[in-house]
Structure 1
Amino acid sequence: MERRTVNTPGMVQFADFDSRGYPMVDVRTGYGQWVGSYEQTVEDAMDLAVLARLAVPDWGAAARAADLGCGTGRTGVWLRDRGVGAVDGVDLTPEMLELARAKGVHDRLVEADLAATGLPGVAYDLVVSSLVDEHLADLAPLYREAFRLARPGGLCVLVGLHPYFIMAAGMPTHFDGADGSPIAITTHIHLVSDHLTAGLAAGWQLAEMHEAVVDDTWVALKPKWERYRHRPVSAAYVWRKPA
């Protein structure tokens, strides 16, 4: 395993902020190894609680959603619990898809790259991507594919780690390996302006943005994060496709 990150030249480099130096693996390898403990280690406060605070999405009005980077299916479960009619999921990691399939909330599950999902175009009222963008070297392909999938007037909702938090903590996405030692998964930093540039270039209109900070809930979950109190930890973007 390598002690390095791969970043696009000229962009903000995670390697410049890395304070952990964990051995690093690619996305498919990492999530394939993490799958057994993933849902026990990823806190809902990071993404699902942020989605719940958004004002623009009317989740129950979405007849069909695309869940990009669906992982174990936890986002799909959340969407169905909020009234989304049907959900199709896409993920790069077969082990994650196996767990998602067992949950039975997705109508269709596809193993594919998020830049080329193979899902039908102009077919979804809602496109959602959660905790994915930090693994992408370039945001543009994701925003373009989401735009292709969405119906006119449809929404794209993206939630992930805030770039400030990645830089301040110097901490990549990581998990404990079989021997208990930490393993990092390829991590990239995308500034808020990178999201705005990529989304607008793809044709989206920004409808809402929410930044969540480390608060009492987070400190209760992770007492060592007291030093990050009031610092941004997650960011959510809601985009609308012109009708």
Structure 2
Amino acid sequence: MTNFSPFDTRGYPTVDVRTGYAGWVDSYEDTVQDAMDTDVLARLAVPRWADAATAADLGCGTGRTGAWLRARGVGAVDGVDLTPEMLARARTRGAHRTLVEGDLAATGLPGGGYDLAACSLVDEHLADLAPLYREAHRLVRPGGLFVLVGLHPAFIMAAGMPTHYDGPTGPIAITTHIHLVSDHLTAGLAAGWQLAEMREEVVGDQWTALKPKWERHRGHPVSAAYVWRKP
């Protein structure tokens, strides 16, 4: 992990993950762009989503990823999240078989019970990646996949921008950590995963159409996705 503080150009007041996502829940769906995660997932070549009878949605939030997985033929999705308010929103969406409030390092879900584990836009909130990779490995059956997508560390560093939302009196940051690509590789390999695919997306026309001010970031990596297979 690399300390985010030297790169922070915003200086927003910062809150912990549970507090932040509870405050963000009402506007989350309006501010998180598909280009950041689900569009990246759609471009991956290795996962055959419809082959997964069961999936664990780690850090399921409002249920965006779970709904995306179900729309692509995943049979049943169990979600875990730290924030009760996010889980309540996911329940109204109805994409998950079960929803559990819990820590991603120890979800309580059955070991070896899933064809797929997925984790979207979560890793920047974790001080240590190793527990997540170990827990995903415990959950997935042999031959199954763990797919993780998040903001690229190079983008967080270049933009100097933490994960944040508009609070009642101005922007509020949620605790943000920087994990280099090598941090992911180290944690994944140490947990027993085999890397099957990796994809990095850069800021291009799609992003500048959504956020014209990001023209100055054109060509910079913005998202990274990893597909791991359990031997």
TM-score, normalization by structure 2: 0.99
Deviation of residue 110 (structure 1)? 0.3
Does residue 88 of structure 2 align to residue 98 of structure 1?
yes
SS at match of 1:28: helix
Q: Residues 113-171 of structure 1: CA distance to partner in whole angstroms, max 9, x if unpaired?
A: 00000000000000000000000000000000000000000000000000000000000
Give the whole-Å Cα distance in 2 for the aligned partners of 1:67 and 1:76. Answer: 6
> Distance in 1 between the 2:23 and 2:10 partners?
20
Equivalent in the alignment of 1:200: 189
4+ residue runs over 3 A deviation: none
- Of residues 30, 37, 48, the one that matches 1:40 is 30
Task: Give the structure 2 partner of residue 150 of structure 1.
Answer: 140
Once the two structures are TM-superposed, the CA of residue 12 in structure 1 deviates from its matched residue by 1.5
Query: Are residue 138 (structure 1) and residue 128 (structure 2) matched?
Result: yes
Whole-angstrom distance in 2 between the partners of 1:212 and 1:110: 31
TM-score (norm 1): 0.95
Q: Does 1:81 align with 2:71?
A: yes
Task: Tell me whether 1:56 sits opposite 2:56 in the alignment.
Answer: no
Q: Which residue, 174, 180, 198 being the options, matches 1:209?
A: 198
Describe the SS at the equivalent of 1:148: helix
Identical amino acids, percent of aligned pairs? 79
Alignment correspondent of 1:67? 57
Cα deviation for residue 223 of structure 1 reads 0.2
Please give the alpha-carbon distance, in whole angstroms, between the structure 2 residues aligned to 1:125 and 1:49: 21
- Distance in 1, matches of 2:2 and 2:76, equals 37
Q: For this pair of structures, how many residues does the alignment match?
A: 231
**Gaps spanning 5+ residues in structure 1: where?**
1-10
Query: Which one-letter code corresponds to 2:29 in the other structure?
Result: E
Aligned to 1:174: 164
In structure 2, the partner of 1:3 is none
CA distance in 2, matches of 1:119, 1:98: 19
Q: What are the Cα deviations for residues 76-105 of structure 1, in whole angstroms up to 9, with x where unaligned?
A: 000000000000000000000000000111
Look up the match of 2:109. 119
> Which amino acid in structure 1 is aligned with residue 21 of structure 2?
Y
Q: Distance in 1 between matches of 2:141 and 2:50?
A: 16
Task: Please point out which of 26, 30, 33 is paired with 2:16.
Answer: 26
Deviation at 1:178, TM superposition (A): 1.7
CA distance in 2, matches of 1:101, 1:121: 23
Which residue identity is paired with 2:184?
A: H
Aligned-partner residue type, residue 185 of structure 1: I
**CA deviation after TM superposition for structure 1 residue 187, in Å:** 0.1
In the alignment, residue 218 of structure 1 is paired with which amino acid?
Answer: W
CA distance in 2, matches of 1:43, 1:215: 14
1:236 corresponds to:
225
User: 3-state DSSP class of the match of 2:61?
Assistant: coil
